[in-house]
Structure 1
Amino acid sequence: MNKLYYLFIAAAGMLFSCQSQTQTEEVQSDSTAVVLKEGVQMIPIQTPKGEFKVFTKKVGDNQTMKVLLLHGGPGMSHLQYANFKDHFPQQGIEFIWYDQLGSAHSDQPEDSTLWTIERFVDEVEQVRTALGLNKDNFYLLGQSWGGMLSMEYALKHQDKLKGLIICNMMSSLDEYEKYAKEVLGPQMPREVFAEVMEIEKKMDFENPRYMELLMKHHYPQHVLRMPLDQWPAEINQTMEQVNPNVYVFMQGYSEFGITPGASLKGWDVKNQLKNITVPTLVVGATHDTMDPKHMEWMSTQVANGRFLLCPNGSHFSQYDDPEHFFPGVIQFIKDVDSGSFGK
């Protein structure tokens, strides 16, 4: 998951505020409007709690290669994909930025019954329909929580897909937690990891020491491999935009697993991967918060898979290893489009 929740923002907001302000007015969401500016649509979504609108913005135009981007969090924003504009258009690939319900420029209802995987899957299907995406042109790319959502969507609606791209997400949260605690945590100095685990044991997540330790010993190593003061403005802004009501309800506070009581606790689809038959690319990174070996294994479990490793990357591998991330993703899209994938 993208684990930089609102406590990170509270700790780092002053550091990032100056460099992110220039982007805060990119789009002002007006829920009464359908089209706000060129390429932008506010799409009405029907839910058990009524109708809401979600933000999308189309970049480029291609009749056979259209990529819908599912952001992480839950409750973050499309800005984690801001640098896609520097790579996809040059290759003639259309893509759609999209803020899920509860996120950034989309409506943000305060009703926790909306924050379920099943409802988010239904939301993606409604977005697909509204945008006119179908099995002849529709590629779905999800990263972190978006990767979970993309797997769940494919398991229910893969007949609508042309290609699936799962980035930086394992198929089992229990196995993720095991990897975080047994592999990533011990990479910290022993006394640091012991202190972090003690804070987690006490559920003392408001303790500023927790974020202080992680910002020094975890985030620049496994989330985005740059010094914190060099993180791109759009990444800082997507962190500032996180909706804690969605994030905490679904996955909790912990950086080394899912907090007990959070709704995603125990999520696991590894035994269902074999049911995904659509061409699938799984993207992992050597320094990721997610186990790259598990993600490579995932690519062998789907019926028609390929694995892409970003050797210099971490959880945001599109930013710290674009030299591998973008050529690999673009090649997959073009191979599927040309009919040469798997041949």
Structure 2
Amino acid sequence: MKNIIFYLVLIVGLIGCKNESSDSLESGKGEETIQMIPIQTPKGEFKVWTKRVGDNPTMKVLLLHGGPGMTHEQYGNFDEYLPQEGIEFIWYDQLGSAHSDQPEDSSLWTIERFVDEVEQVRKALGLNKDNFYLLGQSWGGMLGMEYAFRHQENLKGLIICNMMSSLDEYEKYAKEVLGPQMPAEVFAEIMEIEKNMDFENPRYMELLEVHHYPQHVLRMPAGQWPEEINRMMTQVNPDVYIYMQGYSEFGITPGASLEGWDVREKLKTITVPTLVVGGSHDTMDPKHMEWMSKQVGNGRFLLCPNGSHLSQYDDPSHFFPGLIKFIKDVDSGSF
């Protein structure tokens, strides 16, 4: 998910939501199992939180949340769609997030270590090439791609949601396409704030919460954002988020660890069935994401015409049928 770290205070203030436990996400539509999984890291052992909903021997979807440092609750509405289709899914808080351990050592916040974490989670949950679908959105989409580059032999299917394969291309799209959709004086003021690295200036959020977030992050007024998304906002780990992504809404802040990430040339090495999902109003370029679906060896593109960065919430009528069809097509061998 893009940088809404400073939007948290605004959202929480508008909604007045409480920082409730994510255990309040109860589907009531299938077997549920919470498991704390031990993770070995260069800095010792930590535990990460997972919660399985349903039980299907051939269709198991592990969900990688965005951020970095967000939480599994960005997928809170999955229990309204997947259980009734017989598809098992696993909510998962990455190390540093929500109900998982939150060490303060920034050396842990690397792509390589997160990939290793996902592999350890896979083994602990008994996921393999006969049942394992990996779905990641935004940062989770980056992590999903990186996992596939190293371990695609373990995957049955890969789903990349709302994530481009180059952060430089993302920045170009944000500044050359999305920014100019704002009134010229508004975009000029935002760019001046970014140029001066004045991200604590309240004007930055004042402008973005009117001219950017309701158009490209979640296409509904702040007061109508879903309860689980508001809860997620109260649990974001800014230490992880800022170290890896930075503060900017129109690119990666110079010095952040994800700066320069670009895997366009590596996409052709992904040969497992792959679904790439984009929204017409996304913070990410939907044309680039459609291009990605043609670069992988066995891809499909799903466009959510009413969707933005959280298409599962603002365009569920396209997002979920497309996702479910992909999973079932791969499972039946008809993809």
Same fold (TM over 0.5): yes
Matches within 5 A, 1:216-295: 216-295=210-289
Amino acid in structure 1 at the alignment position of 2:16: S
CA distance in 2, matches of 1:237, 1:170: 26
Specify the SS of the correspondent of 2:92. strand
- Partner of 2:117 in structure 1? 123
- Partner of 2:329 in structure 1? 335
On the 8 A contact 1:104/1:242 being kept in 2, the answer is yes
How far does the alpha carbon of each residue in 1:200-225 deviate from its partner, in whole angstroms, 9 at most, with x for none?
Answer: 00000000110110001000000000
CA distance in 2, matches of 1:12, 1:230: 10
Unaligned runs of 5+ in 1: 29-36
**By how many angstroms is 1:10 displaced?**
2.3
CA distance in 1, matches of 2:100, 2:16: 22
Unaligned runs of 5+ in 2: 25-30
On the 8 A contact 1:11/1:208 being kept in 2, the answer is no
On the 8 A contact 1:286/1:313 being kept in 2, the answer is yes
Amino acid in structure 2 at the alignment position of 1:16: I
How far does the alpha carbon of each residue in 1:235-290 deviate from its partner, in whole angstroms, 9 at most, with x for none?
Answer: 11112211000000000000000000000000000100000000000000100000
Specify the SS of the correspondent of 1:323. helix
How far does the alpha carbon of each residue in 1:169-223 deviate from its partner, in whole angstroms, 9 at most, with x for none?
Answer: 0000000000000000000110000000000000000001101100010000000
On the 8 A contact 2:32/2:53 being kept in 1, the answer is no
- Partner of 2:141 in structure 1? 147
- Partner of 1:13 in structure 2? 12
Specify the SS of the correspondent of 1:27. helix
- Partner of 2:23 in structure 1? 27
On the 8 A contact 2:32/2:54 being kept in 1, the answer is no
Query: Sequence identity of aligned pairs in percent?
Result: 79
Specify the SS of the correspondent of 1:165. strand
1:38 and 1:284, CA in 2 relative to 1: closer, same or farther beyond 3 A? closer
On the 8 A contact 1:27/1:105 being kept in 2, the answer is no
| More deviation, 234-243/112-121 | 234-243
- Partner of 1:31 in structure 2? none
CA distance in 2, matches of 1:270, 1:57: 33
Specify the SS of the correspondent of 2:277. strand
- Partner of 2:64 in structure 1? 70
Amino acid in structure 1 at the alignment position of 2:7: F
The one of 153, 158, 161 equivalent to 1:159 is 153
CA distance in 1, matches of 2:79, 2:162: 20
CA distance in 1, matches of 2:113, 2:16: 33
Question: Over the residues paired in the alignment, what is the CA RMSD in angstroms?
Answer: 1.1
Specify the SS of the correspondent of 2:63. strand
CA distance in 1, matches of 2:11, 2:320: 29
CA distance in 1, matches of 2:168, 2:268: 19
- Partner of 2:294 in structure 1? 300
The one of 193, 201, 215 equivalent to 1:199 is 193
Matches within 5 A, 1:48-87: 48-87=42-81
Amino acid in structure 2 at the alignment position of 1:26: S
How far does the alpha carbon of each residue in 1:278-307 deviate from its partner, in whole angstroms, 9 at most, with x for none?
Answer: 000000010000000000000000000000
Normalization by structure 1: what TM-score?
Answer: 0.94
- Partner of 1:4 in structure 2? 4
**By how many angstroms is 1:114 displaced?**
0.1
Matches within 5 A, 1:29-44: 38-44=32-38
On the 8 A contact 2:272/2:297 being kept in 1, the answer is yes
**By how many angstroms is 1:38 displaced?**
4.8
Amino acid in structure 2 at the alignment position of 1:303: G
CA distance in 2, matches of 1:97, 1:16: 24
Specify the SS of the correspondent of 1:39. strand
CA distance in 2, matches of 1:319, 1:290: 16
Q: Which runs of 4+ in 1 moved over 4 A?
A: none
On the 8 A contact 2:2/2:249 being kept in 1, the answer is no
Normalization by structure 2: what TM-score?
Answer: 0.97
**By how many angstroms is 1:232 displaced?**
0.5
On the 8 A contact 2:279/2:286 being kept in 1, the answer is yes
Amino acid in structure 2 at the alignment position of 1:332: F
CA distance in 2, matches of 1:235, 1:162: 29
- Partner of 1:32 in structure 2? none
CA distance in 2, matches of 1:136, 1:27: 29
Amino acid in structure 2 at the alignment position of 1:257: G
